[in-house]
Structure 1
Amino acid sequence: MITALNRIGLSHVVLHQRRFEDTSIDIEVSGGKVRGHITCDARYPPVDCSEITGIYSRLMDWHLLPEVRDGSDETAQRCRAWHEALSTWTEIAPGCVMNRAVASATNRSKPYQSQLIRQTGFSVPDTLVTNDPELVRDFRAQHGRLIYKSISAVRSIVSELDDDAA
């Protein structure tokens, strides 16, 4: 993304979520308008939020950042507050925002996604959502080969349920 923006000459700012300690976000909503600024690097002037016309967001879960995992409770609190401010801003910012959390909310529930997919006419295989081993054994006996995966929003590895896994 950065290379493409540089190539076409568009000015941009990169917010690196691991640098939350060095990046200030000062935003307010008043009269239906978002005002404030973001300071990404002390070498550059603050960016006026009203001048930002597009946002491309690719945040990972802040709990998993090494700075938080290996840091103090105080560091975790600062990181959480920074991410809440950034997430709130990307949800209400005017202009083009890629990956608003609200737009990807269905990605957080595989069973819900499955219902939406079925409603559009796609074929969806029989599915069992359980943590009960007996129900899994019965489902396997009925269907033969099975695949399994997490139903959470966290990426998971899709695997065949072989005898070792069972």
Structure 2
Amino acid sequence: MTASSPVLVVTQLDDATADVVIKELDRRAVPVVRLDPADFPDTVTVTARADGFGLAGEVQTPTRTVPLDRVRSVYWRRPGPYTAPEELDSQDARWCADQSRYGLGGILAALPGTHYVNHPWRNRAAEYKPAQLSAAAQCGFHVPPTLLTNQAEEARRFASEHGPVVYKPLYNTDYTDQDGRGLTVWVEEVAAEDLDAGVSRTMHLFQRRVDKVADVRLTAVGGQVFAVRIDGSPGLDWRRHYDDLTYTLIDTPPDVTKAVQDYLAVFGLVYGAFDFGLDASGRWHFYECNPNGQFAWFPASITDEITTAIADQLHHPDRDRR
């Protein structure tokens, strides 16, 4: 790759985390192309050829042309969903969206000689919480007792044996109210008597509540780790209380650093946002790892360090940063 080889940023329009990374790459005079698959086929076009040398061709946005075999690296952030022309009925629209996902999506995931942060298929594999919990235990993290079930009786028994217990959604499905406002299912404490027949309708995750004194968000970028202690949350889920929080960059215990690196290796990740509960004894309790978690809401001094690490990965993909 040459100095003119672009970094491809795959994300939707409103993405503050991608924005700060793009700004840093711009400061370094690294060419950047921003692309959202949701804009295909309306304003994005693609032509790809496959032969004995792999994929070649180009993707065009309204303002840029991207040679498929010249992409330096890909920052895969928060792309919008694949879509279809509005005039199509539901079955035809679904067919077209699937063709886009497996066609354009397949092309973007197979760019020759390209460094991904992270590869979209690695992201997807690492999003499943049961796989996260299993890998975390194998890598040496302390994982609170957890139950995955659709049986109310088992859930009640677990809550009685390990209470207090919290419920966590297994995936952040988009929900809106009647006015179109986004709704979120938060981490909440549940009692055994509250677990009724509704448990049988789908899979649920219950976990022993950590008696924590603070939360920790650790952002890993290759071989670098940035652990931030989060204090001030009046409730279980600190994401509900941003205005009350304070953030402090702290040292990461060596055993946690090793477990983080082992975990990234299990899933083939370059980047991961890990959440922990910190108890009074100093033990870090593993909650989850978002392979594509955000960080731009931190104070600028912390955001800048993480941004630099990601920009380094994208700017110099030939360097071994693991």
Offset of 1:39 from its aligned partner?
1.0
The aligned residue for residue 82 of structure 1 is 100
AA at the equivalent of 2:130: P
Q: Secondary structure at the match of 2:55?
A: strand
Matched, 1:117 2:131: no
Say if 2:180 is the partner of 1:159: no
**CA contact 1:36–1:49 (8 Å) conserved in 2:** yes
Q: 1 CA distance for matches of 2:29 and 2:93?
A: 36
What are the Cα deviations for residues 20-72 of structure 1, in whole angstroms up to 9, with x where unaligned?
2210122232214211110111x55x321112111111244626x7x889974
Distance in 2 separating the partners of 1:15 and 1:116:
32
More off after superposition, 17-26 vs 149-158: 149-158
Whole-angstrom CA distance in 2 between matches of 1:162 and 1:56: 42
- 2:37 partner letter: Q
Superposition deviation, residue 145 in structure 1: 0.6
Deviations 1:64-98, CA, capped at 9 Å, x for gaps: x7x88997434444443333223212322122111
* 1:150 to partner: Cα distance: 2.5
Identity %: 21
Quote the Cα distance in structure 1 between the aligned partners of 2:78 and 2:61.
Answer: 16
| Alignment partner, residue 22 of structure 1 | 43
* Count of residue correspondences: 162
Map residues 1-166 of structure 1 onto 2, 5 A cutoff: 1-20=21-40, 21-41=42-62, 44=64, 46-60=65-79, 62=81, 72-73=89-90, 74-93=92-111, 94-152=113-171, 157-162=186-191, 166=195
Distance in 2 separating the partners of 1:164 and 1:40? 55
Alignment deviations for residues 117-159 of structure 1 (CA, whole Å, 9 cap, x no partner): 1111222122111111111111111112101112347586322
Report the CA distance shift for 1:47/1:91 in structure 2 as closer, same or farther (over 3 A): closer
Contact 1:90 1:100 in 2 (8 A): no
What amino acid sits opposite 2:143 in the alignment?
V
Q: Give the TM-score normalised by structure 1.
A: 0.79
Normalised to the residue count of structure 2, the TM-score between the two structures is 0.44
Q: Tell whether the 8 Å contact from 2:38 to 2:80 is kept in structure 1 after alignment.
A: no
Q: Is this contact kept in 2: 1:68–1:76, CA < 8 A?
A: no
The amino acid across from 1:157 in the alignment is W
> 5+ unaligned residues in a row in structure 1: which ranges?
none
1:100-126 Cα shifts (integer Å, max 9, x gaps):
123224423211211111111222122
Q: Cα–Cα, structure 1 residues 150 and 32, in superposed 2: closer, same or farther, change >3 Å?
A: farther
Q: Taking CA–CA contacts closer than 8 Å with sequence separation of 6 or more, which of the two structures ends up with the larger relative contact order? A: 2
Which residue identity lines up with residue 10 of structure 1 in the other structure? V
Q: 1:2 offset after TM fit, Å?
A: 2.4
Which has more helix, going by share of residues? Answer: 1
Name the structure where strand makes up a greater proportion of residues: 2
C-alpha RMSD of the superposition: 3.0
8 Å contact kept, 1:57–1:100: yes
Between the aligned partners of 1:5 and 1:127, the Cα distance in structure 2 is: 41
Q: Secondary structure at the match of 1:62?
A: coil
**Paired residue type of 1:99:** N
Query: Residue 24 of structure 2: SS of its match in structure 1?
Result: helix
Give 3-state SS (helix, strand or coil) of 2:146's partner.
Answer: coil
